Structure 1
Amino acid sequence: MYDSLRTNLSNLKNNKFFELLVVAVIIISALEIGAKTFELPDSAVSITTVLDVFITVFFLFELAIRFIADDDKRSFFKKGWNVFDTLVVVVSLIPVDDSEMALLARLVRVFRVLRMVSVVPELRVLINSLIKALPQLGYVVLLMFIIFYIYAAIGSFIFNDINPELWGDIAISMLTLFRIMTFEDWTDIQYETMEVYPMSWVYYMSFIFLTAFAFLNMVIGIVVGVMEEEHRAARAQKEPSLSELQQELREIKEVLSELQKK
């Protein structure tokens, strides 16, 4: 009986309509969270309360289906997304009103929108790619910090007398350089220093080339490379392996040989 139940729940979990229903509930949850940020009439507040209970119960039901339908239950909580979904569902059971943990419960309900990532495989590939790219991105960030530090020290020494609010010390200079890298009114800063040092444009042009162009392209290249590897791994999981195909061919041959004997 348990095997029959697990099979039925597995079919339900893999059903496209059920997947779309889960996505629809997640979207409703996001809309309900957004609606609570407005001043609502009492009737609308009662509707959002009922919706909140329904969404929490539905997520608990959906998580139970996934757990029962899973072939390897010991490894169920070894998967990061399953742990995340479980934490969100468990904390969502905390009463929001008249509770010391009401603020925590409300904040966790906001994170229910992230369940869209665990439901949609394509979004999981994107997030996994970003996570796996972090070690490589760390070296790029370290190199960028070194460039920031050098340019901030130079800017603090040279431009401090021109505008102490922007170049007063190395920390403020790094914030100013971040503003320049994001092109936030950076020409105003440049023209201000060029009135005293006409060749200071070289300082800004070289910094922008290194950070906004070179490092940004390096980050994009790393993320795209890892994303391609994740897509290949996902396709490899969906496609049957060579050993599985050979096993199926052997089984077909055995069946044909038995039919020929008869």
Structure 2
Amino acid sequence: MRDLVEATWFSRAVLMVIVANALVLGVETSIADPTVDLWLRRVDTVMLWIFVVELCLRIFAHGRKFFTDPWSIFDLLVVGIALVPASVDSLSALRALRILRALRVVNAVPSMKRVVNGLVAAVPGMGSVGALLMLVLYVSAVIATKLFRDIAPGYFGNLGTTLFSLFQVMTGEAWPDIADAVMAEMPGAWIFFVLFILIVSFAVLNLFIAVIVSGMESLEEELVEHDKEDDASNAALLTEIRAIRTELATLRAERDGVPSHLDTSAGGAN
């Protein structure tokens, strides 16, 4: 069973079903014909039970190890959400999350899995950068509120409004309108906006990319080191096997030589 669920053809077949199911769910949102919609729902149900059977086979093949793999738990949760009865009003909204099954492609494609693992490895560093970003935003919001509260109350009337306005400036969304509203009364306000964009958009936000790239590089280095260790252990194993074969050949030669020696000695004695 383990050979079956780990076979290449089996993984590719599951991947094809995942992609087809994602397409079916997408088409289902655009079909107004009740008959076609009914058939699409039936196809979706068949694919869902294919996923259920696949998970049962994997659980049977791997046993407890299945529940120690985060990706396997993710697959189990995603498929389990789709099994929630639509008649349950409090949980019917979860049916809309059926499209999450398309995310199982990540588990089925090793290259995508490595990318996600790199992102997960970068989470601690991203937390530090996020804290730095929040600190810069908070300090900038306090300064902007004190400077521009009376000039543009719609953007900087209070701390909450200022935080949202600065978030717009940080993302580059409509920031010229915000700056123009302030600079109409305070021409020197451009200094604040230019410095804020340089610090936040070009420095702090790029740190997120740097941390993610660093995390992925670290993961790749670990994989390379692991491959080197495997190669070294395989080479040592081959050396030991060759040594054992040499010893066996020596023992066989000695064993084959002992009877002839005894026969010769016995013949001479006779």
Alignment TM-score, normalising by the size of structure 2 = 0.84
The match for 2:258 is: none
The question of 1:93 aligning with 2:83 is answered: yes
Q: CA offsets per residue over residues 181-236 of structure 1, 9 Å max, x none?
A: 11112122222222222211110111001100111221111110111112233344
Among residues 47, 53, 62, which one is paired with 2:54 in the alignment? 62
Letter in 1 for 2:52: L
Q: CA shift at 1:26, angstroms?
A: 0.8
1:94–1:101 contact (8 Å) kept in structure 2: no
Q: Is 1:212–2:201 an aligned residue pair?
A: yes
Task: Count the aligned residue pairs.
Answer: 251
User: How far apart are 1:259 and its partner, in Å?
Assistant: 4.3
CA distance in 2, matches of 1:32, 1:204: 47
1:146 is aligned to 2:135 = yes
On the 8 A contact 1:180/1:208 being kept in 2, the answer is: yes
CA distance in 2, matches of 1:94, 1:186: 44
Report the Cα offset of residue 16 of structure 1. 2.7
C-alpha separation in 2, matches of 1:105 and 1:183: 34
User: CA contact under 8 A between 2:15 and 2:105: conserved in structure 1?
Assistant: yes
TM-score normalised according to structure 1 size: 0.86
Poorly superposed stretches of 4+, deviation over 3 Å: 98-102, 234-239, 259-262
- State the alpha-carbon separation in 2 of the partners of residues 258 and 133 from structure 1: 52
* Larger Rg computed on CA atoms: 2
Deviations 1:15-46 (A, max 9, x none): 33322211111111111222222243233122
Question: 2:104 matched to 1:115?
Answer: yes
Across the aligned residues of Structure 1 and Structure 2, the Cα RMSD in angstroms comes to 2.2
1:25: which partner in 2?
Answer: 17
In 2, the alpha carbon distance for the partners of 1:95 and 1:256 equals 67
Which blocks of at least 5 consecutive residues in structure 1 are unaligned? 1-5
**Pair 243,217 (structure 1): closer, same or farther in 2 beyond 3 Å:** same
Residue 185 of structure 2 corresponds to: 196
Whole-angstrom distance in 1 between the partners of 2:55 and 2:103: 15
Partner amino acid for 2:204? F
- How far off its partner does 1:121 sit? 1.7
Does the residue aligned with 1:95 lie in a helix, a strand or coil? Answer: coil
